[in-house]
Amino acid sequence: MKTWLITGCSSGIGAGIAKAVLAHGDNAVVTARRPETLSALTEGYPETSLAVKLDITRTEDIRSAVQAAKEKFGRIDVLVNNAGYGYRAAVEEGEADEVALLFQTNVFGPVELIKAVLPTMRAQKSGVILNVSSIAAARSGMGSGYYAGSKAALELITDGLMKEVAPLGIKAAIVEPGSFRTHFYDTSLKGSAVKIDDYNETSGKNRKENVVNLGNQPGDPEKAGRVLVEVVEGGTLPKRLLLGSDAVRVVRAETEDRLREIAEWEHISSKTDFAAGE
């Protein structure tokens, strides 16, 4: 039986992961800024679930959540950094304080949680860390530069982390979901108060007030949860796990475009090398 610590469980993919973990028979420490929203998840699992308050931007909450998990279950086997949100703005419209909060939530908070669980995992000589990113890290869009940047930062930190902890018996992986039927496009999406008219016909069309959540995204959060449990139980993790056929399509196309560009510009890129004998 494994013990999972999962952030952002009040809805969406986080809730889907929590449901799958508990149904599988594992322990789940489920977290949210308002733990009272988690009762539907923990009901029926009094012995294997624990609801904990966790605002990922607050160091004291991070420490308390990790301590509560260890006190209840004695160990932490799987950390899932899922909590996060989106932010829409042209790069020029980005508000410094709001962008800083975005990165604190999507990057620096998850990193602090990783640092908080690693001593336990190192002592166990085992553990799994799953950092939930987005296909935005592979391909940004107009108005999504800051959000995509935060997810790309989390991915490259994870890339370094997985190499550092592998010799210690700990695994880390990136999870890249496509579009899922969640609240990402409504309650989990923020936007800049700055509006520059020159962007009205480009990134302006993607501003928060112009986004309507139709609820027709292809991804099922509960299936995502079951897939992650299956992958963790399988023991072998990819470096990046795409979730959703749309994620596979988008990331494949972006990767192929990048390879074509490398080939097209290779003759220029190579001009910076020292010539033989220089």
Active site residues: 133, 147, 151
Asked if 191 contacts 152 with a C-beta cutoff of 8 angstroms, the reply is no
| CA atoms of 23 and 43, how far apart (whole Å) | 12
Encode 139-174 in three state secondary structure.
CCCCCCHHHHHHHHHHHHHHHHHHHHHHHHCEEEEE
In angstroms, the Cα distances linking 53 to 63, 64, 85, 105, 242 are 11, 9, 18, 15, 29
Dig out the tokens for 194 from the structure: 């700055």
Tell me which DSSP letter residue 132 carries: E
In angstroms, the Cα distances linking 125 to 63, 69, 235 are 21, 18, 15
To 10 degrees, what angle do helices 145-165 and 109-124 make? 20
